[in-house]
């Protein structure tokens, strides 16, 4: 009788899904592009989970409310960073890791690059503190691809101002904060060129979508 084949680490790795993050400042159009990318992937029979940060899991969504609503000066920068990583711990445990392990592709509206950009650069907390929290909470895990939607601050804030709702805390921060934030995302992309791709989000939405689908197709060997 032939012994059953054992499923080794290589097989498990082959079945793991891909983790794509979409980053950018306020008004960059992330939500629209995530919906379009997810639809394109589902169109070729890929199991896709869309999620967001802060939030994504019920416990993390409760922390999200603390962060995105209320007065801009509510939290100290270090407190904000800790809250973001607390939410991220729940998100990773309940949503991201289980989805990847079953072979789904996960597309997240923001991940740890936003904490680095918003708190590390925007609030001037510095890279070292955010990086230390990343090592503690996330470890060596990282997105397979990060798409950074970049556009001038004035244009992004004008787009964001048209949105309705309570989640405007970051949008109401000073213009200088948002300028540092934009520079932060571009510096992250410069430091991690293999993982990050910057896309001009000032273009028409269809042009942005075309670039995103082309980038994902080339990176993962799929036809979108």
* Span 145-202, pLDDT tens digits: 999 999 999 999 998 888 767 789 999 999 999 999 999 999 999 999 999 999 999 9
Average pLDDT, the chain: 93
Q: What are phi and psi of 179, to 5 degrees?
A: -65, -45
Report pLDDT digits (tens) over 103-131: 999 999 999 999 999 999 999 999 999 99
pLDDT exceeds cutoff 60 at 16: yes
CA distance 54 to 95: 13
Beta bridge partners of 48: 105
Ranking 50-64, 71-85, 162-176 by mean pLDDT, the lowest is 162-176
Decide: 96 and 19 in contact? Cβ < 8 Å: yes
Instruction: Give the span between the Cα atoms of 187 and 168, in whole angstroms.
Output: 25
Mean pLDDT across 7-26: 72
β strands within 17-133, DSSP E: 19-24, 48-52, 105-109
**One-character DSSP codes across 98-155:** HHHHTT-EEEEE--HHHHIIIIIIIT---HHHHHHHHHHHTTT---SEEEEEE--HHH
In 3D space, the residue among 59, 83, 58 whose CA is nearest the CA of residue 169 turns out to be: 83
Lowest mean pLDDT among 18-32, 162-176, 203-217: 162-176
More confident residue, 214 or 11: 214
Q: Which architecture, in CATH terms, is 17-218?
A: 3-Layer(aba) Sandwich (3.40)
């Amino acid at each position: 009788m032939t012994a059953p084949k054992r499923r080794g680490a290589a097989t498990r790795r082959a079945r793991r899904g891909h983790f794509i993050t979409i980053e950018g400042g306020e008004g960059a159009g992330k939500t629209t592009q995530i919906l379009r990318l997810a639809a394109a992937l589902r169109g070729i029979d890929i199991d896709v989970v869309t999620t967001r940060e802060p939030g994504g899991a019920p416990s993390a969504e409760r922390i999200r409310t603390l962060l995105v609503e209320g007065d801009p000066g509510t939290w100290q920068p270090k407190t904000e960073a800790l809250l973001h990583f607390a939410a991220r711990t729940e998100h990773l445990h309940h949503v991201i890791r289980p989805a990847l392990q079953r072979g789904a592709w996960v597309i997240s509206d923001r991940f740890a690059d936003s904490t680095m950009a918003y708190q590390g650069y925007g609030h001037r907390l510095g890279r070292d503190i955010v990086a230390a929290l990343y090592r503690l909470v996330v470890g060596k895990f990282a997105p397979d691809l990060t798409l950074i939607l970049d556009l001038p601050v004035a244009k992004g804030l004008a787009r964001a101002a048209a949105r309705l709702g309570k989640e405007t805390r970051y949008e109401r921060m000073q213009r200088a904060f948002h300028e540092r934030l934009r520079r932060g995302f571009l510096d992250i992309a410069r430091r991690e060129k293999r993982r990050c791709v910057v896309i001009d989000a000032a273009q028409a939405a269809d042009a942005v979508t075309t670039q995103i689908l082309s980038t994902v197709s080339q990176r993962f060997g799929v036809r979108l």
